[in-house]
Structure 1
Amino acid sequence: MTRHETDRLILRKPDSADGPRLFAIYGDPETHQFNPAGPHADAAVSMAVLGGWLDHWQRHGFGIWAIEEKANPGFVIGFGGLGWAKEAGWGWILNLGYRFSPAAWGKGYATEMGQGAIDYAAERLAADRIHGLVRPHHAKSVRVLHKLGFREVGTLEDTPGEPASLVLERSLR
């Protein structure tokens, strides 16, 4: 299933035409306040990321969605969803991730998309659990994950010289 909907959002498989919007969001320093890797340096980086997402879709049949408001279809406000990630000390995890344009912040879209992803993982993927990795000082994302029923289960030393990321988990059974 390449499309999923929530009350206010359209969650769809991205395509190559989403590259410029991906760069607009991921290239914006404001969206990377808590990401030590920083914003994408140029559109080529965003296209490489998009290529990885499309490869994940090809291999697994699901992945990161392009997110649109139902009230404004055709305009991407963010990207988010589920993906397999191999993390040192944790093995393979089904990871929930998202990033929205600053204009979409504060509207509850991360929580709504996250609940849509949880429902999708439980119903379509028959997953037992999903994880969220978040920088410990990113209070708003930590709060979103807690609202979605995630609980902290550990840390991940994923960026040298930076505090460990929090690993949160949500059981689906």
Structure 2
Amino acid sequence: MTEIHTPRLTLRRWHDDDLAPMAEINADPRVMHWIGDGSVLDLHRTEEALGGWEEEWDEEGFGLFAVELLASGELAGFTGLSVPEYLPETLPAVEISWRLGQSFWGQGYASEAAHAALEFALQDRGLDRVVSIIRPGDEASENIAHKLGMVPGHATTHPVHGYPLQVYTIDLTEFDA
């Protein structure tokens, strides 16, 4: 079982009891504002997503980690790696992404978790490049990408929703682990 510990967090595979708190996070319109078409996800769609995330772990050897607070054991959300199949022009690529519940915003958890996921990508999975695909205007995600040392690459358009996207990149040979 893959598990990573940071000073304040545990990044781990998903448990059955993560469904309800992740569904609560996905049901928050502010959390989902910059994701897909901005629609919230109900319990059933969250359950499908969790299943897909676990399948990616089995197929790719990496995936989205559940992010748990060490102090309380609360599920804060996720961070991790995935193949951005929704944007074929970036392939072959591995994307880092994050989604935390609103009560966990502004405390550095997303940056801390994403930094650990990049270390995992470089040291455990041997990846040499990672991207993050962010909608312009999502300042919180743009700030996290910059903190990770990512730089804007090419601009593109979401193939389904038609809004602009910025592809951030980092060469992991230059990543300051």
TM-score range, shorter chain: over 0.9
Q: Distance in 1 between matches of 2:92 and 2:167?
A: 13
How many residue pairs align between the two structures? 172
| Cα displacement (A) at 1:16 | 2.7
Is the contact made by 1:23 and 1:40 (CA closer than 8 Å) also made in structure 2?
no
1:51-91 alpha-carbon deviations (Å, 9 max, x no partner): 10010111122210111111112x20111111122322221
Identical columns (%): 28
Is the contact made by 1:67 and 1:80 (CA closer than 8 Å) also made in structure 2?
yes
1:45 pairs with 2:48:
no
* Aligned equivalent of 2:141: 141
* Aligned equivalent of 1:98: 98
Is the contact made by 2:64 and 2:82 (CA closer than 8 Å) also made in structure 1?
yes
Q: Distance in 1 between matches of 2:62 and 2:44?
A: 23
* Aligned equivalent of 1:113: 113
TM-score by length of structure 1 reads 0.93
Name structure 1 gaps, 5 residues minimum: none
Q: Look up the SS of the partner of 1:106 in the other structure.
A: coil
Name structure 2 gaps, 5 residues minimum: none
Over the aligned positions, Cα root-mean-square deviation in angstroms equals 1.5
* Aligned equivalent of 2:35: 35
* Aligned equivalent of 1:22: 22
Is the contact made by 2:135 and 2:166 (CA closer than 8 Å) also made in structure 1?
yes
| Shift in CA distance, 161/59, structure 1 to aligned 2, threshold 3 Å | closer
Is the contact made by 1:127 and 1:172 (CA closer than 8 Å) also made in structure 2?
yes
* Aligned equivalent of 2:88: 88
TM-score by length of structure 2 reads 0.91
